[in-house]
Structure 1
Amino acid sequence: MEYSYPLDLSWTPDEMVAVVDFLAAVEQSYESRIDITELKEKYDRFKKVCPGKAQENNIYKDFRKASGYDGYPVVKKMREELKTGAKQISMTK
């Protein structure tokens, strides 16, 4: 894909990596499948960089505009599937 990830230039390189890793995992969930444990770990690192809901939602919005992929439904599905013991999730139909 040819698009940019939404990044804040005030973040450290490690924080940027955490955000990009999570957004790449969101992308993977739409394009194929992702291990739910891996997704949860990446989301947890992402939340350390973006702990607030408003900032999280802004990143989702910017990423959706750039890529067409939305992080919110991925995280919602991840939370639901963690309760069922699922090993992977996919946003494909």
Structure 2
Amino acid sequence: MSIFTPTNQIRLTNVAVVRMKRAGKRFEIACYKNKVVGWRSGVEKDLDEVLQTHSVFVNVSKGQVAKKEDLISAFGTDDQTEILYFESK
């Protein structure tokens, strides 16, 4: 008997959920717990080391990615990488 593991499913471990509120909507990003503190204190300089995935979520734990329309209304763009870099500054 073998256990089937889906290949398209991303397991988020050691996750810290960082929430941001913009235009009356709440967005979340998945980061590494130990790297968030370093980023906020200025020790960590590379945002790619902090983020678990380059996606903006409505609910990280359920895997609900933010809708394109919500991103455009809140941030003026739907480019998730641009939103992550802009919000982290």
Q: Common fold, TM-score beyond 0.5? A: no
Identify the structure with the greater helix proportion: 1
Identify the structure with the greater strand proportion: 2
Does 1 or 2 have the higher relative contact order (CA < 8 Å, sep 6+)? 1
Bigger radius of gyration? 2
Structure 1 length-normalised TM: 0.28
